[in-house]
Amino acid sequence: MRAAGIAFCLVVVLALATASTPSLVRPIPPPPVPSPATVAPGDDDPARYVVSKPAHASFPLFAGGRAAPVVVSGRDYPGVRRVVGDLSADIERVTGHRPAVTTDQVPRHDDVVLVGTLGHSPLVDRLVRAGKLDVRGIAGKWETSLEQVVVDPMPGVRRAFVIAGSDQRGTIYGAYDVSKQIGVSPWYWWDDVPVPRLPALYVLPGRHTQGTPAVKYRGIFLNDENPALGTWAPGFFGPGLAPGHPDGFNHQFYARVFETMLRLKANVLWPAAGTGPRLEYDMTLFTTGPVRVWAYLSPRNATLPGYGPRYAVSLDGEPPQVVDITTATGADDAGTDPAWGRNVSDNVNRTVTTHTVTAPGRHVLKIWMIDPTVVVQKLVVDTGGLRPSYLGPPESRRAG
């Protein structure tokens, strides 16, 4: 313990490796590929229920240059109402023709596609009550869907291809499974997977289901988002919309992430936090007034263009102060700042932030790594009276 009015330091080491490239970063477009196939991949696959050639009692999802319209209930979940738009767009990707999407109103058409969730779609529930759709295999289940062609479902409609879900995600998974059946990969956007161009699409008769997921919670986490994803995403989707976080990820980015997850039947996401690794210390101060926090950092080169490496410091929940180590130490202008030469010879970068303590007692100091390669040797909290020294004061457990 050191006497009152003298600085104390916390000796810490934080060696952080350069971030790896995240798996969700969209790569450079691949070289031209041969013309898309004109036959649905795996037409002879027994697990495939959407094919490119007609069969007995098959439903024409797209045939003769016409696409069956898609119908959804306005009472259904927002996610279900959204996914019918994606299904319509996927059919257009494969056939060149976009099906019409209607809400609540069933068009007078021989063949329609009906998408809905049990208990939330009056259109689907009406088929169940009429005994035309048997949902005993999915009712009450977790994230389970049924795809089935129903004959004479309602007046004015000859056949309906019904995509019914036990819950919201069950319906969404069912719609995206149809997209996968017609040849649209879950990675069509992120990895530019080619989509086949087909002259026709037919749904085979029978009851089709992927069953209830064996693992209840399935998902991904965005790991090591900087520097690759953290640089690319704001440049591609626009700046972050949260106040003070222009380098954050906005809803347009996450819409693409969520879509891919749902196409892969995932239901959990650990998002990119954007704050980086953090050190946090409890300390007791007996004085009030200005406090300076000196950071002793191992010299490192910047890994991101235009700035860095950077860290941030906060005392007692105040807005973090961001420090650009290169600028703060004069490394960007060695000819005019002799401190840079001293830092090189000492093999350490010393930077400082100033804070205000309004009351004695317990306080919390936090330091964040914003960019990769920030290596903290130790932190010195100067409450006044810090004496010059070559390596800074020794470690102490309390400060006065």
Domain of 121, CATH number, reads 3.30.379.10
Cα atoms found within 13 Å of the Cα of residue 44, Cβ hemisphere only: 0
Identify whether residues 96 and 204 lie together within a single domain.
yes
Identify whether residues 245 and 363 lie together within a single domain.
no
Per-residue pLDDT tens digits of the chain, which is 400 residues long: 333 333 333 333 323 223 333 333 344 444 444 444 455 556 667 789 999 999 999 999 999 999 999 999 999 999 999 999 999 999 999 999 999 999 999 998 899 999 999 999 999 999 999 999 999 999 999 999 999 999 999 999 999 999 999 999 999 999 999 999 999 999 999 999 999 999 999 999 999 999 999 999 999 988 767 667 877 888 899 988 877 677 778 899 999 999 999 999 999 998 765 556 778 899 999 889 999 999 998 887 776 666 778 888 999 988 889 898 888 887 666 555 566 666 677 788 889 999 999 999 999 999 988 777 888 888 999 988 888 777 778 777 654 4
258 in a structural domain: yes
176 in a structural domain: yes
Contacts of 141 (CB under 8 A, 6+ apart): 166, 170, 212
pLDDT, residue 170, reads 98
Enter the pTM of the model: 0.65
214 in a structural domain: no
Range of the domain at 375: 8-16+277-382
Identify whether residues 119 and 224 lie together within a single domain.
no
pLDDT, residue 231, reads 76
213 in a structural domain: no
Contacts of 338 (CB under 8 A, 6+ apart): none
Other C-beta atoms within 10 Å of 60: how many?
Answer: 18
Identify whether residues 204 and 294 lie together within a single domain.
no
Identify whether residues 329 and 198 lie together within a single domain.
no
Cα atoms found within 13 Å of the Cα of residue 281, Cβ hemisphere only: 24
Tokens of 184: 């649209």
**What is the residue-wise DSSP string for 10-47?**
EEEEE--PPPPPPTTS--PPPPP-PPPPSS-TTTT-TT
List the one residue out of 81, 151, 83 whose CA is nearest residue 112: 151
387 in a structural domain: no
Identify whether residues 301 and 231 lie together within a single domain.
no
pLDDT, residue 56, reads 94
pLDDT, residue 276, reads 63
29 in a structural domain: no
Distance CA(49)–CA(203), nearest Å, equals 6
Domain count, the chain: 3
pLDDT, residue 46, reads 77
